[in-house]
Amino acid sequence: MIVLQALRRCHANPPLRQLHWLLVRHRINYKLAVMTYKIHSTGLPAYLIHHINPRETTRTLRSSDTVLLTLPFTRTELAKCAFRCTAPSVWNSLPSLVTSSGSLTTFKSRRLKTYFFVYRLTVAYTSNLSHFLQCFTTLWRFINQFIIIIIIIIVNHVGEKLTEKPCNTCCCGCWHLWPPTVNRVSAYISVLC
């Protein structure tokens, strides 16, 4: 980054965080939300006001207090990129604490930009956490398989030295491996497999 005179190959996120800049996709959503707030509160610019329609509900719901916008129906993916579709979807995705701001400066600086920074950190944290959980799960499976293999080797080694003796605990006259702890280990291995 030229502004911070950072190395050419350094990762972009730490300098963006240091400069308090938003990522490109969050910057686009920020601009759309600010434009939607201006249209909703002041009615300007007039040529865009007919694209923003408040959602009208027939029932009284908890979400009736928040101002939601109607998403128009589109047939193509290209039409979903138009202002009339993206502005309502971005606005409806914002929490009511952000959209219920009293003034434009409060909306822009204090609530909206803070929301996007917290959202970015939350998404980064959850993606790192999910990667960690995947690695941990793989490691746990490997450790379990390793323990099972060690137990099988021990049982096979000990099993060579075992003799079969008649069972004294039950009346059926069956034969079991002696000592009885090996039977428990082999049962444990069959449960794990």
Per residue in 45-102, pLDDT (tens digit) is 899 999 888 888 777 777 667 788 999 999 999 999 999 999 999 999 888 888 888 8
**What pTM value is reported for the model?**
0.60
CA 148-181-175 angle, to 5 degrees, is: 115
Residue 116 and residue 112: Cα distance in Å, rounded? 6
pLDDT tens-place string over residues 151-181: 877 777 665 555 555 555 555 555 554 445 4
Per-residue pLDDT of 88-122, as tens digits, reads 999 998 888 888 888 898 888 878 888 888 876 66
CB contact at 8 A, 175 and 166:
yes
